[in-house]
Amino acid sequence: MNSTQIFWMQILTSVFVFGIVAVWYVWPSLTKLSRNAALIPLLFVHVFRYVGMTLLVTDMIDPKLPREFLSSAAYGDLLAAALALASIFALRSNWRVAVPLVWVANTWGFADLLNGLRSVLQLNIPSFNLATFWYIYTIYAPLVVVSHLMIFWILIKSTSWKK
């Protein structure tokens, strides 16, 4: 297998494994909570997206990667992290804007992920030296995807969820 095949195999395996953990363990626990309480741990997964700023640190990854890609990924993740954190505070404080803010945070974060995926495909990112950032793409990003989907599910089912 070449590096690109390994990269995608690892991502798909991580999504599968995190999906199993979510269905077997996380989801049953979340259904016992109120909607707001269930959203908080899922949002905490996104707070760590500030790690994406590492892409802007000189000599951390392949210098041949386009600066536009690096900036877009880093700042998109930073905004996603900030929105997730703001959403957590809003939910814990029972602010009226809490659920709309979660919609904004999750929609932005998911759109940013899709934009990043487009760039990963266009630039064939696994062909570059990603150093330790390889693990962010192959372990953390799949966790973020599963979390986004769970948040969307809770938000969509919001009317039947315990308040």
pLDDT tens, position by position, 113-134: 999 999 999 999 999 999 999 9
Mean pLDDT score of the chain? 95
**Of 117, 42, 53, 56, which is closest to residue 79 (Cα–Cα)?**
53
Please say if the pLDDT value at position 151 is more than 80. yes
Alpha-carbon torsion angle 72, 78, 80, 82, nearest 10: -150
Q: Find out whether 3 and 127 touch, Cβ atoms under 8 Å.
A: yes
Distance of alpha carbon 153 from alpha carbon 92, whole angstroms: 20
pLDDT of residue 162: 66
Distance of alpha carbon 61 from alpha carbon 80, whole angstroms: 22
- The pTM score is 0.94
Please say if the pLDDT value at position 163 is more than 90. no
How many CB atoms within 10 Å of residue 161? 18
pLDDT of residue 150: 98
Please say if the pLDDT value at position 13 is more than 90. yes
Query: 115 in helix, strand or coil?
Result: helix
Please say if the pLDDT value at position 93 is more than 70. yes
Q: Find out whether 98 and 87 touch, Cβ atoms under 8 Å.
A: yes
pLDDT in tens, 17-73: 999 999 999 999 999 999 999 999 999 999 999 999 999 999 899 999 999 999 999
pLDDT of residue 78: 98
Please say if the pLDDT value at position 160 is more than 80. no
Q: Which residue has the tokens 């404080």?
A: 93
Per-residue pLDDT, averaged over 84-108, amounts to: 97
pLDDT of residue 158: 79
